[in-house]
Amino acid sequence: MINEDRLAQTFIELVKIDSVSKEEAEVCAHIQPVLADLGAQIMIDGAGEKVGGDCGNLIARFSGNRKCEPLMLSAHMDTVEPGRGIKPIFADGVFTSDGTTILGADDKSAVAIILETLRVVEENDLPCGPIDVVLTVCEEIGLLGARHLDFSKIRAKYGYALDATDTEGIVVRAPSANRIELTVHGRDAHAGAAPERGINAIAIAGRAIAGLTLGRLDIETTCNIGIIKGGLAHNIVPSYATISGEARSHDEDKLAAVTERMVAAFEAARDAFTVPGDPDPPRLDVNVQRDFTRTHIADDHPAVVLAQRAAKQLGRPMKSKITGGGADANIFFEKGIVTGVLGTGMRDMHTVRENVRLADMVHCAELLLEILRLHAVG
């Protein structure tokens, strides 16, 4: 029942519209009339103003034709850079960009799939319960749209976000994450004439980082230093260095311990460069913020059971999966909306090699259509 040609054309239209984070207004305007023509009540919340963007989250309510609990379907409208002037290429059943930009399958393959599924429901008057479609902004820069979503407009207590690769899996566990921002303050001096008068902030940071174990710490836990900046010129002892890192874990106690160890390494490095009696010793500013909180969906939750039943009806497997990544689903879960993450087939996201097979998008749309049917008929 899925119209493959229409699905492909919808996807092409979407990826041709620039929508890097904070600039989603044009793609949102393109999507709204499609949803309205399908009978949705359209709302745009105030998240755009809160995040400094040009558009809020798009919320579309469908009343459905069956009495049952509302179901949420979600995707995000924004893309990463380089994401301007995308020229999609379709060859041998696979969408790619021309190699100079990302493709935007993350997450416009999901938007196209949701729109095609709803079109099929409407055209064929298929059984369908109430649906809340939530298309967020600024997912790629810290889940900002979901963080500022007007949850008073969402009726559903569970549903699905389409924002993964595997079309035969549902993500039921994702980690908590802490973002760790550190600023090391040293003391500037001429690097050739009087280096002994300076305190090298980059050297302090380097000592701290050298003492850390980064990467995968165990099956549940990772940590990373992702950005380091500092100094003014090659001939000035750098007076500052800023470092941005993170820690993630499915276990809150492990997350706290790793975060503490990362901060302690910088404190120890600062102390190692401190000379007793120095009136201007090195200093350290630390800012630890919760990026997102873990999700853990029980195997017998309706969101999992419904997806597995739908896959079984289609003669396909549906594996429960664990991920190390975060998504809008983490924020929804924290707010009381249990959200499994389904895959659209997109691969090599955030690179110029990003691609997605049309067959995988059809696969996902068929699954979503069966989920809606089973949800409506019970």
Q: At 261, which CATH number?
A: 3.30.70.360
Report the b/e string of 19-38 with b at 16+ CB within 10 A: bbbbbbbebbebbbebbeeb
The DSSP string of 55-97 is ---EEEEE--SS-S--EEEEEE--B-SS-SS---EEETTEEE-
The residues, any chain, with a CB within 8 Å of residue 350's CB and separated by 6 or more, are 80, 102, 106
Clarify whether residues 298 and 153 are in a common domain. yes
Catalytic residue (choose from 23, 45, 78, 132): 78
Q: Which of residues 261, 292, 323 is at a domain's end?
A: 292
Residue 135 pLDDT level (bands cut at 50, 70, 90): very high
Angle, CA 81 vertex, CA 222 and CA 7 arms, to 5°: 100
Distance of CA 127 to the CA centre of its chain: 31
Instruction: Reply yes or no on whether 78 is catalytic.
Output: yes
Dihedrals phi, psi of 12, to nearest 5 degrees? -60, -45
Clarify whether residues 26 and 170 are in a common domain. yes
Clarify whether residues 26 and 94 are in a common domain. yes
Q: Which of 183, 225, 189 is nearest to 204 (CA)?
A: 183
Clarify whether residues 80 and 54 are in a common domain. yes
Clarify whether residues 134 and 183 are in a common domain. no
pLDDT of residue 208: 98
| Contact indicator for 111, 75 with CB cutoff of 8 Å | yes
pLDDT at 122 over 90: yes
Instruction: Reply yes or no on whether 267 is catalytic.
Output: no
C-alpha span between 129 and 244 (Å, rounded) = 45
Structural domain including 260 reads 177-292
Clarify whether residues 216 and 72 are in a common domain. no
Instruction: Give helix 302-313 / helix 358-377 axis angle, nearest 10°.
Output: 120
What one-letter code names the amino acid at 354? E
pLDDT of residue 378: 85
C-alpha span between 54 and 18 (Å, rounded) = 13
The residues, any chain, with a CB within 8 Å of residue 313's CB and separated by 6 or more, are 370, 374
Per-residue pLDDT, averaged over 70-89, amounts to 98
Q: Which of residues 248, 275, 292 is at a domain's end?
A: 292
Per-residue pLDDT, averaged over 115-130, amounts to 97
Average pLDDT over all residues of the chain: 97
pLDDT of residue 100: 98
Clarify whether residues 140 and 239 are in a common domain. no
pLDDT per residue as tens digits for the range 285-335 = 999 999 999 999 999 999 999 999 999 999 999 999 999 999 999 999 999
C-alpha span between 292 and 373 (Å, rounded) = 32
Helical residues (DSSP H) of the chain, grouped into ranges: 4-15, 25-37, 47-51, 105-124, 144-147, 201-210, 252-272, 302-313, 328-334, 358-377
The domain spanning residue 145 has which CATH number?
3.40.630.10
Residue 183 pLDDT level (bands cut at 50, 70, 90): very high
Q: Which of residues 292, 309, 338 is at a domain's end?
A: 292
pLDDT per residue as tens digits for the range 185-215 = 999 999 999 999 999 999 999 999 999 999 9
Clarify whether residues 190 and 136 are in a common domain. no
Token pair for 188: 């500037």
CA end-to-end span of the chain: 21
Element containing residue 45 per DSSP (H, E): none
Sheet holding 176-185, edge to edge: 215-218, 221-230, 240-249, 176-185, 283-292
Catalytic residue (choose from 139, 188, 354, 370): 139
Domains identified in the chain, total number: 2
Clarify whether residues 157 and 260 are in a common domain. no
Residue 105 pLDDT level (bands cut at 50, 70, 90): very high
pLDDT per residue as tens digits for the range 243-284 = 999 999 999 999 999 999 999 999 999 999 999 999 999 999
Clarify whether residues 67 and 210 are in a common domain. no
Q: Determine what percent of the chain is predicted with pLDDT higher than 70.
A: 100
C-alpha span between 208 and 148 (Å, rounded) = 35
Clarify whether residues 195 and 331 are in a common domain. no
pLDDT at 229 over 90: yes
Clarify whether residues 97 and 227 are in a common domain. no
Q: Determine what percent of the chain is predicted with pLDDT higher than 90.
A: 100
